[in-house]
Structure 1
Amino acid sequence: MSKTKVLLVGSGALGIVAAYTLEYNGFAEVTVVVKSGYKKASTEGYKIDSVQFGKIDHWKPTRVVSSIHEAVANGEEYDYIFVSVKNLPDSPTPCEDIIESAMKTNPNTAVILCQNGIDIEKPLIEKYPGHVILSCVSLIGCTNIDCVVSQMTPDNVQLGIFENPTLKDRARAEQILDKFISIYRMKDGKNVVKKDSNVRQTRWQKLLYNASVNTSTALTNLDCSRAAMTGCKETIWRPVMREIYAIAKSDGYTLPLELEDTMLNISDGLFYTPSMLVDVRLNRMIEVETIVGNPLKIAEKNGIDAPHLSMIYHLLKMVQFRIKENQGLITVDDSVKVYKTADEYGKGF
C-alpha cells in the first residue's frame, strides 16, 4: 500500500512532533519545509527528547526542503498540507499565500490548520473554494530551539472539519478527515487523537489559555510558573478568560465552567515557555491578530465589553511593531519629528 504524502509547513516543535508521529506510524512520507535552521536540519537532523518517544538523535523526515517551491519543483503532489507555521495575517505573506504553489499542484489536496486562534480558516476557504480545510487543535507542551525538540507533555489532538459553505461533498470530507486520524493515531496509545464534531467550540476553549497566559507571558518575558508567582492568575488571567467566556457566548458557544480553573493551572510546576513568548524572545512575529484581534472583532460586533483583552491586544500590537521594525518590515525615519501611524509607515504593517 502506498504511503500518504504529507507536506508539513512549519518546523517548530509542534510540527516536528507531528512529522515524527506520522513517520513513526509508518503510514506517511513527510516533506518538512524548514525556513529557519535548514542547514542544520538537513545535515544533522533533529535531536528529540520526548515524553512520548524518549531520546532520539539525528532524526530526519523523508525529505527536508528549504521552501514550498522546492517541495513542488518537480510537480510533486501531496494528499495533505499540514500547516503549523504561525498564522500571521498582518505579515507580508499570510498563510493562504504561503501554501499557494503547493495548492496548485493538486486540486484534491486537503489542508490541516494546526494553528492558534479563531476564524483562521476563512481566508483559505475564500482563496481555495472546494478544498477540504481541517482544524487541528493540539494540547501539547513542547519547544524547538536550534533543532533540539523538547516535548514535556503527551500529544493530545482534536481534528475536525471547519464549516465551509464551498464544500460540495461533505461525505468525502469526512473520509479525508478519518484517513488522517487513522494515520496520526498511534497504535500503542502514546498519543490521544479525537474526532472533533464542534471545531469552533474547541477553538474557543483553547483561546481561554492562549488569550490570557500565552499573551501575558509574552508581554512580561516570564515563563508560566514565574508569572503565576506574581499573582497574575487572579489579576490578569482569570479576568481575560471571563471575557473570552462572554465573547464565545455571544458567538453562540457556551464554554464549560470547569475549564477556567483547568486552563489557569495547566502549566503549574512546568516552568513552561508558551509559544508567543518563544517568538518574542527569538524576535519572530506573534499571532496577535488570530489569538486576540479576531475575538475582539467578534466582541465589538456583538456588543461585548472586553477591556482586559483590549489592553493586551494594543500592548501586543506595540510589541509586534518593534519586531517588524527589527526585521526590517517597517522602516521608521526618526530624524523626522512628525508623528505617523503604522499604516503610514507602510511596508508590512
Structure 2
Amino acid sequence: MNQSRSVLELWVDILKAGEGVVDTTEHIDSIRFSKNVWNCAWASMQGLVRSTALAFAPLSAEHSAVIKSYFREIVTVGFQAGLLWKGMVQYPTKEVSEGLDDVVEYCWDKITGMAKARGVGHKYSLLIDVEMGRPFEVEVITGAVLRLAQKYKVDTPRLEYTYVLLKVLQGEILREQREKLEEKAVGA
C-alpha cells in the first residue's frame, strides 16, 4: 500500500470517528461534474429569474419540459465526455443512475420536491451573489460546462443562451460596482 493511500485511509477513519459521512472514489472528475450538473442547471436559472426552485415547482408538464431540455443539454455533455454514465452513483444522494433521462428527471424531481416539501427552495450561491450585487462564478459554473460541450462537439443552444445571459448579468453587476466606486471617489 502506498503512502498516499495510507494517509487517505487515516483521514477517512478520523472523519468517520467524528461521525462524518465519507466516501472515496477513483472518479473524482465524475463526482465534480455531477455536482456541476446541479450548479449549472439550477444556479444559472436561479440567478436569471432571481428565485429558488420553489418558483419552478408548480410549472405545468409542458413548461417544465422546456427547463428539462436545458438540463438534458448539460447532462448530455457529461455523458459524451464520459463523466456521467449509466450505473454511476449520483451526487449527492448516492442513488444509482439509470441513464441520461434518469439523471435529468432526478435533477428536476429532487430539487423541486425538496423545495415543495420544505416550503422554501435552497438558494445557490450564484443567486445570493446576484442579490448582494456581487460578481459570481459564471465561468466556473456555466462556462466550464459550455467549454466541455464545445470540446466534445455537443450542441447546446440553451446552455449557450444561458451563458450569454449570465455574462450580461455579470457585466451589469460589475458596471454598477464601478459606478459606486467612482461615486465614492468623487465624494471623498
TM-score of Structure 1 vs Structure 2, range by shorter chain: 0.7 to 0.9
Contact 1:284 1:323 in 2 (8 A): yes
Give the alignment partner of residue 219 of structure 1, picking from 40, 48, 57.
48
Equivalent residues in 2 for 1:284-303 (5 A)? 284-303=134-153
* Cross-structure match for 2:30: 201
Judged with a 3 Å threshold, the aligned counterparts in structure 2 of structure 1 residues 180 and 320 are, in CA distance, closer, same or farther, namely farther
Judged with a 3 Å threshold, the aligned counterparts in structure 2 of structure 1 residues 235 and 184 are, in CA distance, closer, same or farther, namely same
* Cross-structure match for 2:75: 245
The answer to whether structure 1 residue 311 and structure 2 residue 182 are counterparts is: no
Judged with a 3 Å threshold, the aligned counterparts in structure 2 of structure 1 residues 181 and 303 are, in CA distance, closer, same or farther, namely same
Q: Which has the higher helix share?
A: 2
Equivalent residues in 2 for 1:7-86 (5 A)? none
Contact 1:214 1:275 in 2 (8 A): yes
Q: Secondary structure at the match of 2:51?
A: coil
Q: In 2, Cα distance between the equivalents of 1:175 and 1:323?
A: 47
TM-score, structure 1 as length reference: 0.41
Q: Which runs of 5+ in 1 are unaligned?
A: 1-169, 333-349
Give the alignment partner of residue 326 of structure 1, picking from 173, 176, 188.
176
Equivalent residues in 2 for 1:221-236 (5 A)? 221-231=50-60, 233-236=64-67
Structure 1 position 196, deviation (Å): 2.1
Judged with a 3 Å threshold, the aligned counterparts in structure 2 of structure 1 residues 172 and 325 are, in CA distance, closer, same or farther, namely farther
Give the alignment partner of residue 185 of structure 1, picking from 16, 21, 35.
16
Structure 1 position 233, deviation (Å): 3.3
Structure 1 position 331, deviation (Å): 8.7
Specify the code of the residue in structure 1 equivalent to 2:13.
Answer: S
Q: In 1, Cα distance between the equivalents of 2:8 and 2:133?
A: 35
RMSD: 2.7
Structure 1 position 187, deviation (Å): 4.1
Specify the code of the residue in structure 1 equivalent to 2:38.
Answer: Y
Judged with a 3 Å threshold, the aligned counterparts in structure 2 of structure 1 residues 212 and 173 are, in CA distance, closer, same or farther, namely same
Specify the code of the residue in structure 2 equivalent to 1:219.
Answer: L
Judged with a 3 Å threshold, the aligned counterparts in structure 2 of structure 1 residues 185 and 325 are, in CA distance, closer, same or farther, namely farther
Q: In 1, Cα distance between the equivalents of 2:6 and 2:13?
A: 10
Q: In 2, Cα distance between the equivalents of 1:330 and 1:314?
A: 25
TM-score, structure 2 as length reference: 0.73
Q: Deviations over 1:128-148 (max 9, x none)?
A: xxxxxxxxxxxxxxxxxxxxx
Structure 1 position 221, deviation (Å): 0.7
Q: Deviations over 1:130-171 (max 9, x none)?
A: xxxxxxxxxxxxxxxxxxxxxxxxxxxxxxxxxxxxxxxx93
Q: In 2, Cα distance between the equivalents of 1:329 and 1:251?
A: 42
Q: Deviations over 1:92-119 (max 9, x none)?
A: xxxxxxxxxxxxxxxxxxxxxxxxxxxx
Q: Secondary structure at the match of 2:22?
A: strand
Report the identity percentage: 23
Q: In 2, Cα distance between the equivalents of 1:289 and 1:226?
A: 25
Q: Which runs of 5+ in 2 are unaligned?
A: 86-96, 183-188
Q: Secondary structure at the match of 1:303?
A: coil
Q: Deviations over 1:13-33 (max 9, x none)?
A: xxxxxxxxxxxxxxxxxxxxx
Q: Which has the higher strand share?
A: 1
Q: In 1, Cα distance between the equivalents of 2:139 and 2:2?
A: 33
* Cross-structure match for 2:3: 172
Number of residue pairs matched?
160
